[in-house]
Structure 1
Amino acid sequence: MKSNVLAAILATSIMSLTGMVHAAPVAGSETVGVTVQEASIAAVGWSAQKQILHKPVYNDDKKKIGVIEDIIVSPENSVSYAVVGGFLGIDRHDVLIPFSQFRAEGRKYLLPGANKAMLKSLPAFKYTK
Structure 2
Amino acid sequence: MLNLHSQPRATAQPQSPRKPLAATITALLAALTLSSAVGISGHAWAQGAPQSVTEKRTDVVQLASGYRASKLSGADVYNRNKDTIGTLDDLIVSPGTERTTYAILSVGGFLGMGKHLVAVPFNDLQIDNRRIVLPEATKKSLEALPEFKYAPG
TM interval, short-chain normalised = 0.5 to 0.7
The match for 2:89 is 69
TM superposition score normalised by structure 2: 0.54
Q: Indicate if the aligned counterparts of 2:105 and 2:119 stay in contact, CA closer than 8 A.
A: yes
* Residue identity in the other structure for 1:81: Y
Quote the residue 1:81 is aligned against.
102
Aligned residues of 2:93 and 2:101 also touching (Cα < 8 A): yes
Aligned residue pair count: 99
Match of 2:127 in 1: 104
- Indicate yes or no: 2:114 matched with 1:91: yes
Tell me how far apart the structure 2 counterparts of residues 58 and 67 of structure 1 sit (CA, whole Å). Answer: 9
CA distance in structure 2 between the partners assigned to 1:122 and 1:105 by the alignment: 25
Q: Report SS of the residue matched to 1:118.
A: helix
Q: Which residue among 48, 53, 61 is the counterpart of 2:73?
A: 53
Separation (CA, whole Å) in 2 of partners of 1:45 and 1:104: 10
> How much does 1:60 deviate?
1.1
Identify, as 1 or 2, the structure richer in strand.
1
Structure 1 segments unaligned to the other structure (5+ residues): 1-27
Q: Does structure 2 conserve the Cα–Cα contact (< 8 Å) formed by 1:66 and 1:86?
A: yes
- Which residue identity lines up with residue 96 of structure 1 in the other structure? A
Q: Which protein has greater RCO, CA pairs closer than 8 Å, 6+ apart?
A: 1
Larger Rg: 2
TM-score after normalising by structure 1: 0.63
Which stretches of structure 1, 4 residues or more, deviate above 6 A after TM superposition?
none
Query: Structure 2, unaligned stretches of length 5 or more?
Result: 1-49
Q: Is the contact made by 2:126 and 2:133 (CA closer than 8 Å) also made in structure 1?
A: yes
C-alpha deviations, 1:61-94, integer Å up to 9, x for none?
A: 1010000000011224745100000423221210
The 2-side partners of 1:56 and 1:68 are apart by: 6
Cα distance in 1, alignment partners of residues 59 and 73 from structure 2:
22
Q: Is the 8 A contact 1:71 1:79 kept in 2?
A: no
Instruction: Give distance in 1, aligned partners of 2:75 and 2:136.
Output: 19
Percent of residue pairs identical: 33
